[in-house]
Structure 1
Amino acid sequence: MNELFASGRIIDLILVMILVEGLVLALIHYRTGRGLAPQELIGFLLSGALLLLALRAALVGAWWGWMGLALAGSLVTHLADLAWRWRRAGRRSD
C-alpha cells in the first residue's frame, strides 16, 4: 500500500474514477434527460482533477512548478465554473 501512495499511482486510480464518473453521468443525462448536463460537470470535475494532479506531483517529489501550475489551473477552472453558474442563476431569476 505504501508504494501505491509513494509512486502516485493512487492518484492515477482516482483520476480514472473521476473520468468514469463524468462519462457515466453524461450518459445518464443523454439517455434520460435527468441529472446534470455535461457542460455542468466539466468545471468541477476538471478543477478536482487538477487538485489531484498537484497532490500527485507532491507525492512523487516533482518540481514545485508543476504543483503550482496544477493549483493555478484548478483555481482558474473553479472560478470559471463559478462565474458560469452565477450567470446561469442570474438568467433564471429574470
Structure 2
Amino acid sequence: VWHFYEGAALDLWMASPDWEQVSRHRLGPLDGEQRPAWTVPAGCWQAARSTGPYSLVGCTVGPGFDFLDFALAAEQPDAAAALGTRHPELTGLL
C-alpha cells in the first residue's frame, strides 16, 4: 500500500504481470483525481514519479511479502523488453 504524506502529487503506474494492462493513479491530498493511498496487488509491476520537486510517500507491505520475490524491471531483460514492446512510452520509468 502506497501512502502519500506531503509535497507534490505522485503518479503511480501499475502493470499486470504480462504488461497487457497498465493504469496510472495519482497519489496526493484527497480530491477528484487524487487519493492519499493506493494498493498494488501482488504480482503487478509498479513505477512512480513525482509531479513536482518532491513527494514524500511511504509503502507498507503485509505478511507474506518477501524481498526475495521483489524484482526491478530494469534488471529483468525479458520484463524490460516486454514493456518496451507493449508500452514504449513508459520505458523512461525503468
Task: Say whether the fold is shared (TM-score over 0.5).
Answer: no
Q: TM-score, normalised by structure 2?
A: 0.22
Greater radius of gyration (CA): 1
Larger relative strand fraction? 2
Decide which structure has greater helix share. 1
Q: TM-score, normalised by structure 1?
A: 0.22
